[in-house]
Amino acid sequence: MSSSTDWKRAFSDYPGPYERLVRAADTEIGAFLDFDPSRRTNAAPGSVSGGDDPLADLPFAVKDNIAVRDFQLSCGSKILGDHVAPYDATVISRLTAAGMVPVGKTNLDEFGMGSSTDNSALGQTHNPWDLTRVPGGSSGGSAAAVAAGLVPIALGSDTGGSVRQPAAFCGVYGLKPTYGMLSRYGLVAYASSLETIGIIGADPATIEETLHSAAGMDERDQTSIASPRGVRVHSAGTSETSLPARAAFLAGDLDLDEPTRAGYQRFRSAVEELGVATEEVELSTTEVAVSAYYTIATAEASANLARFNGVRYGNRPIYAENPEELVRRTRSEGFGPEVLMRILLGTYVLRSGFQEQYYQRAQKIRTAVRNELDALFEHYELLILPVFPTVAFPHGDAGLSPFQQKLADRFTTLANLAALPALSIPAGVYGGLPVGIQAMGPARSELQLLEFARRLATKLPVEHPPEYQESICDRILAGEGA
């Protein structure tokens, strides 16, 4: 696996080969919507930043619902199209201050609404393990770019599993931090009380360095909180952070496909080999979490997406008789069917007479989820559960229906409802497709989760897609693309 030092050397010393090789590889994958490594730096090769930070000169990709100055900000939607961001999100400002270089914007389900990235209006992204299958969603472009070795690290957003699920489908790590750990300033809002920017990477150490540079309070985001608790894992691999004493696994028939069931069992065996005691637990809120999540998320989407009305920015019809027709045509022509469906559902549950029946009841379930997990973490340091009940499914009608995809979010939505951190960890490859299992911890336990993943990698090493065994970095340093 390429180190950060290798990546920095390959990117900064060989910018031309890097760009050519990524563009060539991405013609098959479709991870990027906007790719231009030179757009944010005019420095001479070998001195992109000149800084001493361990992240200096490291390229990274950004999901196209996070603002990066001078790059497009489309949210995978026709309604924004080729809109260009005039400013940087806070996380981008902090990472570029550390010397990292944003090289492009990645594909996503429109406005982050989906589990496949097939809901993008601007292109299709394929899973590097099998190009006939989805990379997951909604951060599918970011996960595919990391899995194919186009970048070592990528940012996504996680509202109900949108970082962890594509990371699991593509066989890489995906961190959903504690709510507020990473500022949401510059993240296009979908469901503000649930979503957070997340990090996808090929190894826990680089994710940790990225988190360390990006985390912290932000005066422009009143929901932001202080950096994570714990001791950082240093480059030498030493840490004072100990392994958890006890980890809880979900009990009962979880209705998993065979590869995911095998991965879950293998994951538990690997945890026990590390000396961690495991016990099975039941969560009473698991089966109702998805209903509560979609009620709250669609209600917030209905309010947040009201700003896309064809007046201030984005695409608009050439002609409209009056302001009402302008808004109607802008939204009906600009939004895809999944986004329209969620806006309609959210508007419905917020209607007078229905709020108590749906929205307020969902908020009570959310409180119950949070209370149940808080009680669990009084006895266990970790909760281990699947990310998704299946491996990556095929594109189109051969895959899961939109309704089946929503029901399958039952494992990931828990962390969003409770505002807790969770990390998708590769658990092996079964039948040619990777399986990811997630570890969830109490609030601000990101460093403990990443240290747990680092030690678990000795038992469950990361595997790479057959066609992408060598990253772009490896190929450049081997002399290819010159």
Write the DSSP string, 422-440.
Answer: EEEEEEEEETTEEEEEEEE
Residue 240 confidence (pLDDT): 54
Instruction: State the architecture of 4-246+421-477 in CATH terms.
Output: Alpha-Beta Complex (3.90)
Alpha helix positions (H), 58-161: 90-97, 140-147
Tokens of 280: 């099975």
- 111-120, 172-181, 312-321: lowest mean pLDDT where? 312-321
Q: How far apart are CA 408 and CA 38, in angstroms?
A: 40
Output 464-471 pairs: Cβ under 8 A, ≥24 positions apart: 464/147, 464/149, 464/171, 465/128, 465/129, 465/147, 465/148, 465/171, 466/129, 467/128, 468/25, 468/128, 468/147, 468/148, 468/149, 470/149, 471/2, 471/149, 471/150, 471/152, 471/202
Amino acid 40: pLDDT: 86
Active-site pick, 2, 4, 8, 63:
63
Neighbours of 386 (CB within 10 A): 27
* Peptide bond connecting 138 to the previous residue in cis, omega within 30 degrees of 0: yes
Whether the CB-CB separation of 120 and 81 falls below 8 Å is answered with: no
Between CA 291 and CA 422 the distance in angstroms is 20
Annotated catalytic, 445? no
Residues 6+ apart with CB under 8 A from 12: 45, 46, 47, 48, 57
Percent with pLDDT over 70 in the chain: 95
pLDDT of residue 44: 36
Q: How far apart are CA 331 and CA 131, in angstroms?
A: 32
pTM of this prediction exceeds 0.85: yes
| Alpha helices (H) along 55-163 | 90-97, 140-147
Average pLDDT, the chain: 93
Counting residues of the chain whose pLDDT is more than 90, the rounded percentage is 87
- pLDDT score, position 81: 86
d(CA 47, CA 69): 21
Structural tokens at position 135: 């990379």
Burial 228-264 (b: 16+ CB within 10 A, else e): bebebbeeeeebebebbeebbbbeeebebbebbbbbb
Write the pLDDT tens digit of every residue in 429-448: 999 999 999 999 999 999 99
pLDDT of residue 245 exceeding 60: yes
Residue 9: half-sphere exposure toward Cβ, Cα within 13 Å = 11
pLDDT at 242: 76
Pick the catalytic residue from 93, 138, 424, 471.
138
> Average of pLDDT values for 231-247?
64
Contact 438, 411 (CB under 8 A): yes
Of these residues, 12, 115, 157, 162, which one is catalytic? 162
Burial class for 401, CB neighbours closer than 10 Å (0-12, 13-18, 19+) = exposed
Active-site residue 192, yes or no?
no
Residue 252, pLDDT score: 87
pLDDT for 1 equals 64
- Asked if the model's pLDDT at residue 34 lies above 90, the reply is yes
Q: From residue 272, how far is each of 415, 439, 454 by CA, in Å?
A: 24, 14, 15
Record the tokens describing residue 69, joined without a space. Answer: 């100055």
Q: How confident is the model at residue 52 (pLDDT cuts 50, 70, 90)?
A: low
78 included as an active-site residue:
no
